[in-house]
Amino acid sequence: MYVEKAQIQNGADATALAIAGQCAKAVNCVDAMGDPNNRLANQNANDGSTGVFSVTQPNSSTVRVEANAQEAGSTSDSFSLFFARVLGNNTAVIHAVAEASWGTPSEATTLPWTISECVFKNFLTPAQLAEFASTKTFTGDPVPTRVLFRYDQNVPTFPGCEVQNGYAPGGFGWLDTDIGCSTNVDVANSEVGSNPGNDLPSVCQSMPATIKNAPVLIPVFTDATKNGQKTTYELAGFLAFQVTGFKFGGGPGLTDLDPLAPACDGGNCRGIQGYFTRFVSVEEGNTSTGGLPNYGATRVFLSN
């Protein structure tokens, strides 16, 4: 019974996370709850049979899954016993419940880089901008136009944004690193320090080999103060960015440009190419406390 209970719980957890992941990607939750591809309970049972008898949405950011033991080929809400039959117990009802929630991250380990909210808003449609201004979230994906973020001395300013897109003079969006090529960001602390200059941080020399593999989580800043090494960025949340190309230098492995994105021409150009997207994280190191703007990065987690 204990083994069966564990299998049912794993199945309920997997089903809840799958549905929540779809909801977090702006899929209609009613459709996600009814999608048979999200019913993963059977795959987690050794006999390939578990019943999911209830999928509900207790609130706007949570789904609840209830599952039960079910023998292969049966629709009965019970599980046959063997040794307990001598006591007159032929079957047992075994249930499991799982709840999964989603929300914007408030703490995360990210690439040591930041992008201004103003720049991000350039890649929302007028309807998305109006929705974001009203609700601090938006429906659908950001406009997937490929962009080049330069961090040399010729940084172009995006329409409506401050000079050099809000970066303080003497610094690009590189941030102080914590462990390896990453920064631990807690939006509640509001500020992070900068790592100025055109050079890729020394601890990030191996990062280019994997940066294009999946969308990366990037903290969003709304203001920058002071200069150079003393610059601090005031953070508001996290966005998702898919890197498609880069030029961090002239050495081996430091250049891999995307021909479909704006060109990074000339020996002095340094930059990152890509587009804004949505990203759903199930990493346990990310934390959600609610109340932050949703720039397209969402965390899914088991809440019960």
Q: Which domain holds residue 209?
A: 107-302
**Domain total of the chain:** 2
Closest to 273 (Cα-Cα) out of 282, 290, 261: 261
* Statement to judge: residues 142 and 242 lie in one domain: yes
Q: How confident is the model at residue 265 (pLDDT cuts 50, 70, 90)?
A: confident
Q: How confident is the model at residue 219 (pLDDT cuts 50, 70, 90)?
A: very high
Domain end among 39, 73, 102: 102
Q: What is the model's pTM?
A: 0.79
Q: Given this model, what pLDDT does residue 88 score?
A: 45
Q: Hey, is 165 helix, strand or coil?
A: helix
* Statement to judge: residues 188 and 227 lie in one domain: yes
Q: Given this model, what pLDDT does residue 62 score?
A: 93
What single letter denotes the amino acid at residue 243?
V
Phi, psi (degrees; rounded to nearest 5) at 83:
-70, -30
Higher model confidence: residue 88 or residue 221? 221
* Statement to judge: residues 146 and 239 lie in one domain: yes
* Statement to judge: residues 97 and 201 lie in one domain: no
Poorest-pLDDT segment among 150-154, 212-216, 286-290: 286-290
Q: Given this model, what pLDDT does residue 119 score?
A: 95
The owner of tokens 């929705």 is 131
* Statement to judge: residues 112 and 79 lie in one domain: no
Q: What is the tens place of the pLDDT at every residue in 13-63?
A: 989 999 999 888 878 899 999 898 887 755 544 444 455 668 999 998 899
